[in-house]
Protein backbone atom coordinates (compact mmCIF):
# COMPACT_ATOMS: atom_id res chain seq x y z
CA UNK A 1 0.00 0.00 0.00
CA UNK A 2 1.31 3.44 -0.93
CA UNK A 3 0.38 6.59 0.98
CA UNK A 4 1.09 10.23 0.31
CA UNK A 5 0.43 13.06 2.73
CA UNK A 6 -0.04 16.67 1.69
CA UNK A 7 0.14 19.21 4.54
CA UNK A 8 -1.52 22.62 4.33
CA UNK A 9 -0.75 25.95 6.09
CA UNK A 10 -3.98 25.76 8.10
CA UNK A 11 -2.58 22.66 9.85
CA UNK A 12 -4.72 20.20 7.93
CA UNK A 13 -3.49 17.35 5.80
CA UNK A 14 -4.77 15.20 3.01
CA UNK A 15 -3.72 11.55 3.00
CA UNK A 16 -4.11 9.51 -0.16
CA UNK A 17 -3.58 5.76 0.16
CA UNK A 18 -3.42 3.45 -2.81
CA UNK A 19 -3.74 -0.28 -2.61
CA UNK A 20 -2.56 -1.83 -5.85
CA UNK A 21 -3.21 -5.37 -6.94
CA UNK A 22 -2.75 -7.31 -10.15
CA UNK A 23 -6.25 -8.12 -11.37
CA UNK A 24 -7.14 -11.52 -12.75
CA UNK A 25 -10.34 -12.74 -14.32
CA UNK A 26 -11.10 -14.64 -11.12
CA UNK A 27 -11.49 -11.35 -9.23
CA UNK A 28 -14.26 -10.19 -11.55
CA UNK A 29 -17.50 -9.52 -9.68
CA UNK A 30 -15.84 -9.53 -6.26
CA UNK A 31 -16.69 -6.82 -3.76
CA UNK A 32 -13.92 -4.70 -2.29
CA UNK A 33 -14.41 -2.14 0.45
CA UNK A 34 -12.41 0.99 1.16
CA UNK A 35 -12.48 1.82 4.87
CA UNK A 36 -11.67 5.34 6.10
CA UNK A 37 -10.62 5.52 9.77
CA UNK A 38 -9.79 8.71 11.60
CA UNK A 39 -9.95 9.79 15.26
CA UNK A 40 -12.18 12.72 14.30
CA UNK A 41 -14.81 10.36 12.84
CA UNK A 42 -17.51 8.88 15.05
CA UNK A 43 -17.44 5.68 12.99
CA UNK A 44 -15.56 4.30 10.02
CA UNK A 45 -16.66 5.35 6.56
CA UNK A 46 -16.98 2.48 4.08
CA UNK A 47 -17.12 2.62 0.29
CA UNK A 48 -17.87 -0.66 -1.49
CA UNK A 49 -17.09 -1.41 -5.10
CA UNK A 50 -17.69 -4.38 -7.38
CA UNK A 51 -14.60 -5.20 -9.44
CA UNK A 52 -15.08 -5.18 -13.20
CA UNK A 53 -11.93 -6.86 -14.50
CA UNK A 54 -11.64 -6.90 -18.28
CA UNK A 55 -9.69 -9.62 -20.09
CA UNK A 56 -9.27 -11.32 -23.44
CA UNK A 57 -11.18 -14.58 -23.99
CA UNK A 58 -10.21 -17.82 -22.28
CA UNK A 59 -11.30 -20.56 -24.72
CA UNK A 60 -11.84 -24.32 -24.48
CA UNK A 61 -13.39 -26.79 -26.91
CA UNK A 62 -15.45 -29.60 -25.36
CA UNK A 63 -17.75 -32.35 -26.56
CA UNK A 64 -15.31 -34.93 -27.91
CA UNK A 65 -15.35 -38.06 -25.77
CA UNK A 66 -12.74 -40.02 -27.73
CA UNK A 67 -15.36 -42.49 -28.96
CA UNK A 68 -16.52 -41.01 -32.27
CA UNK A 69 -17.05 -43.74 -34.85
CA UNK A 70 -18.42 -44.17 -38.36
CA UNK A 71 -22.20 -43.89 -38.26
CA UNK A 72 -22.47 -42.16 -34.88
CA UNK A 73 -25.10 -39.40 -34.81
CA UNK A 74 -25.85 -36.34 -32.72
CA UNK A 75 -22.34 -35.21 -31.84
CA UNK A 76 -21.26 -31.59 -31.32
CA UNK A 77 -18.23 -29.57 -30.38
CA UNK A 78 -18.83 -26.65 -28.03
CA UNK A 79 -16.66 -23.54 -27.95
CA UNK A 80 -16.63 -22.29 -24.36
CA UNK A 81 -15.40 -18.74 -23.86
CA UNK A 82 -15.02 -16.68 -20.72
CA UNK A 83 -14.37 -13.03 -21.55
CA UNK A 84 -15.07 -9.50 -20.35
CA UNK A 85 -16.22 -7.64 -22.33
CA UNK A 86 -18.26 -10.46 -23.87
CA UNK A 87 -17.03 -11.96 -27.15
CA UNK A 88 -18.43 -10.43 -30.30
CA UNK A 89 -17.03 -13.00 -32.72
CA UNK A 90 -16.61 -16.77 -32.66
CA UNK A 91 -15.29 -18.63 -35.72
CA UNK A 92 -14.83 -22.37 -36.34
CA UNK A 93 -12.21 -23.65 -38.78
CA UNK A 94 -10.35 -26.82 -39.65
CA UNK A 95 -6.55 -26.90 -39.72
CA UNK A 96 -5.69 -30.05 -41.59
CA UNK A 97 -8.06 -30.39 -44.49
CA UNK A 98 -11.18 -29.41 -46.30
CA UNK A 99 -14.31 -28.43 -44.38
CA UNK A 100 -16.61 -31.46 -44.82
CA UNK A 101 -20.28 -31.25 -45.75
CA UNK A 102 -22.72 -31.53 -42.88
CA UNK A 103 -21.10 -29.14 -40.40
CA UNK A 104 -23.22 -26.31 -39.01
CA UNK A 105 -21.79 -23.66 -36.68
CA UNK A 106 -24.35 -21.86 -34.54
CA UNK A 107 -24.32 -20.34 -31.04
CA UNK A 108 -20.69 -21.36 -30.37
CA UNK A 109 -21.54 -24.99 -31.20
CA UNK A 110 -20.30 -26.98 -34.18
CA UNK A 111 -23.04 -29.45 -35.09
CA UNK A 112 -22.16 -32.60 -37.03
CA UNK A 113 -25.46 -32.86 -38.92
CA UNK A 114 -24.91 -36.16 -40.75
CA UNK A 115 -23.81 -39.53 -39.34
CA UNK A 116 -20.03 -39.50 -38.91
CA UNK A 117 -17.65 -40.66 -41.64
CA UNK A 118 -13.85 -40.77 -41.79
CA UNK A 119 -13.97 -37.36 -43.55
CA UNK A 120 -14.75 -35.73 -40.19
CA UNK A 121 -11.39 -36.79 -38.66
CA UNK A 122 -9.22 -33.72 -38.23
CA UNK A 123 -8.20 -30.74 -36.13
CA UNK A 124 -11.01 -28.26 -35.40
CA UNK A 125 -10.27 -24.77 -34.08
CA UNK A 126 -12.52 -22.24 -32.39
CA UNK A 127 -11.31 -18.61 -32.38
CA UNK A 128 -13.04 -16.15 -30.08
CA UNK A 129 -12.59 -12.38 -30.21
CA UNK A 130 -13.52 -9.51 -27.93
CA UNK A 131 -12.28 -5.90 -27.86
CA UNK A 132 -9.18 -6.92 -25.84
CA UNK A 133 -7.93 -9.74 -28.02
CA UNK A 134 -8.40 -13.06 -29.75
CA UNK A 135 -7.73 -16.52 -28.38
CA UNK A 136 -8.36 -20.02 -29.68
CA UNK A 137 -8.46 -23.66 -28.70
CA UNK A 138 -8.41 -26.77 -30.84
CA UNK A 139 -9.56 -30.35 -30.63
CA UNK A 140 -8.17 -33.32 -32.57
CA UNK A 141 -11.04 -35.55 -33.70
CA UNK A 142 -10.43 -39.16 -34.68
CA UNK A 143 -13.24 -41.20 -36.27
CA UNK A 144 -12.82 -44.95 -35.71
CA UNK A 145 -14.39 -47.96 -37.46
CA UNK A 146 -16.69 -48.77 -34.57
CA UNK A 147 -17.38 -47.90 -30.94
CA UNK A 148 -14.70 -48.63 -28.38
CA UNK A 149 -15.58 -51.25 -25.82
CA UNK A 150 -15.15 -49.48 -22.55
CA UNK A 151 -14.20 -51.73 -19.68
CA UNK A 152 -15.91 -50.71 -16.48
CA UNK A 153 -13.86 -50.05 -13.38
CA UNK A 154 -15.90 -52.67 -11.50
CA UNK A 155 -14.85 -55.36 -13.99
CA UNK A 156 -11.21 -54.31 -13.69
CA UNK A 157 -11.38 -54.33 -9.88
CA UNK A 158 -13.03 -57.76 -9.96
CA UNK A 159 -10.30 -59.14 -12.21
CA UNK A 160 -7.56 -57.81 -9.92
CA UNK A 161 -9.23 -59.21 -6.79
CA UNK A 162 -9.73 -62.56 -8.55
CA UNK A 163 -6.07 -62.71 -9.59
CA UNK A 164 -4.87 -61.89 -6.06
CA UNK A 165 -7.21 -64.53 -4.59
CA UNK A 166 -6.00 -67.15 -7.10
CA UNK A 167 -2.35 -66.41 -6.22
CA UNK A 168 -3.16 -66.71 -2.52
CA UNK A 169 -4.85 -70.12 -3.00
CA UNK A 170 -1.91 -71.38 -5.09
CA UNK A 171 0.56 -70.19 -2.43
CA UNK A 172 -1.36 -71.99 0.33
CA UNK A 173 -1.58 -75.19 -1.76
CA UNK A 174 2.17 -75.16 -2.55
CA UNK A 175 3.01 -74.47 1.11
CA UNK A 176 0.92 -77.43 2.26
CA UNK A 177 2.49 -79.77 -0.30
CA UNK A 178 6.09 -78.75 0.36
CA UNK A 179 5.98 -78.55 4.15
CA UNK A 180 7.58 -81.70 5.63
CA UNK A 181 5.26 -83.62 7.90
CA UNK A 182 6.21 -85.02 11.27
CA UNK A 183 6.08 -88.74 11.50
CA UNK A 184 3.45 -89.78 14.00
CA UNK A 185 4.48 -92.46 16.41
CA UNK A 186 2.62 -95.67 15.90
CA UNK A 187 1.38 -98.02 18.61
CA UNK A 188 3.88 -100.65 17.53
CA UNK A 189 6.76 -98.36 18.51
CA UNK A 190 5.57 -98.36 22.12
CA UNK A 191 5.51 -102.15 22.56
pLDDT of 189: 58
Predicted confidence (pLDDT) per residue in 75-90, tens digit: 999 999 999 999 999 9
81: exposed, middle or buried (Cβ count in 10 Å: 0-12, 13-18, 19+)? buried
Which has the closest alpha carbon to 108: 158, 61, 171, 147? 61
Which has the closest alpha carbon to 134: 175, 83, 190? 83
Which has the closest alpha carbon to 3: 22, 16, 19? 16
For the chain, helix (H) and strand (E) counts, in that order, are 1, 13
pLDDT of 2: 85
Query: Could you tell me the domains of the chain?
Result: 2-50 (2.60.40.10), 55-144 (2.60.40.10)
Helix (H) or strand (E) holding 29: none
The ranges of the chain with pLDDT < 50 are none
pLDDT of 167: 86
Predicted confidence (pLDDT) per residue in 156-182, tens digit: 788 888 888 888 888 887 787 777 766
Query: Is residue 53 helix, strand or coil?
Result: coil
Q: Are 85 and 130 in contact (CB under 8 A)?
A: yes
DSSP string, 132-179: TEEEEEEEEE-EESS---PPPHHHHHHHHHHHHHHHHHHHHHHHHHHS
Q: Are 61 and 78 in contact (CB under 8 A)?
A: yes
Q: For residue 97, what is the DSSP state?
A: S
Mean pLDDT of the chain: 88
Amino acid sequence: MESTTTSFPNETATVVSQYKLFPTRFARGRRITCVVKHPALEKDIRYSFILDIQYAPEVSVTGYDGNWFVGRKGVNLKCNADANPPPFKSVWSRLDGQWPDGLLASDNTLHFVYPLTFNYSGVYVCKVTNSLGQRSDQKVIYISDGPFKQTSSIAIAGAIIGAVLALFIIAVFVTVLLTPRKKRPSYLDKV
